[in-house]
């Protein structure tokens, strides 16, 4: 597999209760469930090593997205905010 910037190379399931919120060209807030954590290629360095980050993967309109992918494909989407489950203690989010 040839790895390129933006590729998702791994996914891990998310705990139930994680969500993302954003506006889509209307005043109402859209809330979507986070289904997993995606390892996304952010860049390739000279020796072929992939630089990666972990991003929330969520379902919107029957498709799985990361925030960057959704904003790239739909310019009406505002900033995407990640929300932890209500039962998550604050010290666990650090």
Q: Is residue 15 part of a domain?
A: yes
pTM over 0.75: yes
* pLDDT tens-place string over residues 19-70: 999 988 777 899 999 999 999 999 999 888 889 999 999 999 999 999 999 9
Q: Is residue 1 part of a domain?
A: no
Q: Is residue 92 part of a domain?
A: no
SS (H, E, C) the chain: CCCCCCCEEEEEECCCCCEEEEEECCCCEEEEEEEEEEEEEEEECCCCCEEEEEEEEEEECCEEECHHHHHHHCCCECCCEEECCCCCCHHHHC
Per the structure, the complete domain to which residue 14 belongs is given by: 8-86
Q: How many domains does the chain have?
A: 1
pLDDT for the residue numbered 93: 54
Q: Is residue 93 part of a domain?
A: no
Q: Is residue 2 part of a domain?
A: no
């Amino acid at each position: 597999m040839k790895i390129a910037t933006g590729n998702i190379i791994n996914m891990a399931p998310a705990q139930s209760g994680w969500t993302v919120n954003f506006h889509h060209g209307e005043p109402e807030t859209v809330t979507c469930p986070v289904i997993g954590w995606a390892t996304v290629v952010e860049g390739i360095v000279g020796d072929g090593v992939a630089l990666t980050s972990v991003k929330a993967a969520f379902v919107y309109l029957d498709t799985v997205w990361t925030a960057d992918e959704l904003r790239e494909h739909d310019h009406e989407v505002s900033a995407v905010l990640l929300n932890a489950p209500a039962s998550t203690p604050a010290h666990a989010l650090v």
